[in-house]
Amino acid sequence: SKLEMFVDELPDMPRIMAYQIVGGASKSNSLNIGMFKKKWKFHRDLPPTPVYAYGLTSLTATVPGPTIEAHYGVPTYVTWQNNLPPDHILPCDLTIPTAVNNKTNGIPTVAHLHGGIHAPDSDGNPNSWFTAGFEQKGPTWTSKGCHYPNNQQPGNLWYHDHAMGLTRVNLLAGLLGVYIIRDPSIEAPLGLPNSNQFDRPLVVFDRSFRSNGSLFLNSTGDNPSIHPQWRPEYFGDVIIVNGKAWPRLTVRRRKYRFRIINASNARFFRFFFTNGLEFIHVASDSTYLEKPVSTNETLLGPSEISDVIVDFSKSSSNVAILANDAPYPYPSGDPVDEDETSSKVMKFIILPNREVDTSRVPKSLIKYPAVDLANVAQTRYIAMYEYASSTDEPTHLYLNGKPFNAPVTETPKVGSTEVWYVINLTEDNHPLHIHLGLFKVLDQTQLVQLKEFKNCMTELNDAIKCNIGNYTRGQKVSVPDHEKGWKNVYKMSPGFVTKIVVRFSYIHTNASYAFDPTIEPGYVYHCHVSLFNSLIFPLKIIRTHIYM
Ligand code: C2O
């Protein structure tokens, strides 16, 4: 039987303050955040689901986890504590190089603050995993505590598990949550909706359930003779927002701010409102835009963020459905059909009376120094290539033909600017995420004679030796205005070269990273789909070391 939509209220996750106000000044708090196995109600009519949840205590742990609130320049200290019992609630494929292959007696986990600018030993490197009570640790694990300087501009981050080979299942089990950095001195003058009632994170992901309420993950792989359980992508038919299936929210006739995070493993969402309401974008990923941009739809790859204002006073109806029509897989799959359950996200019930609304959307938001393309320290070509078995099943994905455990090839300097040409030779769009780096997408150019180029790349794995310039002669696609700001993830279109300009470390940080770059862990960059779909079988990550 199908679950009825729009019967549960949209939850607001508990908030954890990473700072306290002492005598008018903001001071750091030290947090102990646990990971707990518990049961979670995703829908009124669904039996409670065994999950892994982040929280201060088992009782208060939630899916998604609590929203952590930080202040600009006030560091957060977190000890992430693994309290998970030894048997995973989801099937893990032990034939892939995972943390559990190290014969752990517990479940390896490591939290990563996505979008954070911090030292590598606090970055949640996949090999820095640890089991319950820190009993066993991965090869790059260094200390129990994580230090997030929050020395970056205000914006939306999120934290999620990042353990080697288990990220996919640990995320599906519930290990993710929102982290907001606020800077009242910059943000208050903007006048955007700013109370917890009118400023709400929306964490959206898809899941499938068995009738007993447990999460369903098909445990037979697409290519069982090679990897019995591995599937490159996970798609669920139930859309969850803030931990409830297709929830509803009653709103007043005024402006709201929604920080929308696509926390799915593989599903892209192209969100739109059924009654034509607009999204007024004020930020994307972890940074504000320079100016607000209005659109009728917003396409988010896994781990992308749209931070939008929605003005319900503009609605002619009293109901607005937030809907989705993105194909899955994106873009090669079929578009979501209107009667598919994944075409609906949540429902807004708009109260009839117009309200006095003192919040506003200013003409301009935050200005950044212009990128100086004449002073680029390095130009790099990064090719994503999928290798297939004789039956055409994907078996692994490499960057420039190199697996994760190959020696580091990208060694940018802190504070430097680089241009990367990301060449997507696969069939699917890959949301590329770079740790520590913030980038602007300049343009996307279609490759011509793709087959010939692919053949050369399979052989040489070197875009320059394969004369990339001869192939970048297709149509140029410009970047939508609301995605022209600084991003930490972007959708790499298949058959295209995406040109990005990356700044390593930050626009207004003065943090110094005093570490030895010859020692692990360093930073990683990766496709967020492959990350979720079993980092690291698809070996799509190359470690990035940052030299001082
Ligand atoms: Cu959102 Cu490397 O992660």
Residue finishing a domain among 163, 186, 209 = 186
Rounded average pLDDT over 264-277: 96
pLDDT in tens, 168-212: 899 999 999 999 999 999 999 999 999 999 999 999 999 999 999
Would you say the CB of residue 37 lies under 6 angstroms from ligand 1? no
- The pLDDT confidence band at residue 370, using thresholds 50, 70 and 90, is confident
Would you say the CB of residue 200 lies under 6 angstroms from ligand 1? no
Same domain, 303 and 218: yes
Residue finishing a domain among 125, 159, 186 = 186
Please say whether the beta carbons of 525 and 546 come within 8 A.
no
Confidence at residue 521, expressed as pLDDT on a 0 to 100 scale: 60
User: To the nearest whole number, what is the mean pLDDT of the chain?
Assistant: 89
Cα 68 versus chain centre, distance:
16
Query: Which atom of ligand 1 is closest in space to residue 114's alpha carbon?
Result: 1
Same domain, 165 and 29: yes
Same domain, 223 and 342: yes
Task: State the distance from the centre of ligand 1 to the C-alpha of 329, rounded, in angstroms.
Answer: 20
Q: Is residue 125 in a domain?
A: yes
Same domain, 129 and 213: no
- CA dist 160 and 170 (Å) reads 9
- Of 224-233, 472-481, 526-535, least confident by mean pLDDT is 526-535
- The pLDDT confidence band at residue 376, using thresholds 50, 70 and 90, is very high
- Residue nearest ligand 1's atom 3 by CA: 114
Rounded average pLDDT over 371-380: 90
Same domain, 269 and 178: no
Q: Please name the helix (run of DSSP H) or strand (run of DSSP E) that holds residue 453, with its range, or none.
A: helix 450-460
* Number of domains into which the chain is organized: 3
Query: Which atom of ligand 1 is closest in space to residue 525's alpha carbon?
Result: 2
Q: Is residue 191 in a domain?
A: no
- CA dist 168 and 164 (Å) reads 9
Within 8 A by CB and 6+ apart from 420, the residues are 379, 380, 381, 382, 439, 499, 500, 501, 502
Same domain, 309 and 217: yes
Give 389-422 as a DSSP string.
-TTS-EEEEEETTB-TTSPP-B-PBTT-EEEEEE
- CA dist 429 and 386 (Å) reads 12
Task: State the distance from the centre of ligand 1 to the C-alpha of 528, rounded, in angstroms.
Answer: 6
Name the more confident of 392 and 545: 392
Cα 29 versus chain centre, distance:
25
How much is the ipTM here?
0.99
* CATH number (domain holding residue 207): 2.60.40.420
Cα 120 to Cα 57, 143, 254, 326, 522: the distances in Å are: 27, 11, 42, 35, 5
pLDDT in tens, 493-515: 999 999 999 988 643 333 333 34
Confidence at residue 512, expressed as pLDDT on a 0 to 100 scale: 39
Please say whether the beta carbons of 429 and 494 come within 8 A.
yes
Confidence at residue 538, expressed as pLDDT on a 0 to 100 scale: 30
Q: Which backbone phi and psi does 455 adopt, to 5 degrees? A: -60, -45
Tell whether omega for the bond before 331 is within 30 degrees of 0, i.e. cis: yes
- CA dist 41 and 243 (Å) reads 8
Confidence at residue 394, expressed as pLDDT on a 0 to 100 scale: 61
pLDDT in tens, 206-265: 999 999 999 999 887 776 776 677 677 889 999 999 999 999 999 999 999 999 999 999
Confidence at residue 537, expressed as pLDDT on a 0 to 100 scale: 29
- The pLDDT confidence band at residue 97, using thresholds 50, 70 and 90, is low
Confidence at residue 542, expressed as pLDDT on a 0 to 100 scale: 39
By residue range, what is the domain housing residue 232? 199-354
pLDDT in tens, 54-73: 999 999 999 999 999 999 98
Rounded average pLDDT over 343-364: 96
- The pLDDT confidence band at residue 99, using thresholds 50, 70 and 90, is confident
Would you say the CB of residue 231 lies under 6 angstroms from ligand 1? no
Rounded average pLDDT over 364-371: 90
Query: Which atom of ligand 1 is closest in space to residue 489's alpha carbon?
Result: 1
Rounded average pLDDT over 470-485: 96
B/e letters for 18-46, b = 16+ CB within 10 Å, e = fewer, are bbeeeeeebebbebebbbbbbebbbbeeb
Q: Is residue 410 in a domain?
A: yes
Residues of the chain with pLDDT > 90: what percent? 69
Same domain, 434 and 492: yes
Confidence at residue 526, expressed as pLDDT on a 0 to 100 scale: 86
Name the more confident of 385 and 44: 44
Please say whether the beta carbons of 83 and 36 come within 8 A.
yes
From the list 155, 255, 221, 161, the residue with the least C-alpha distance to 396 is 221
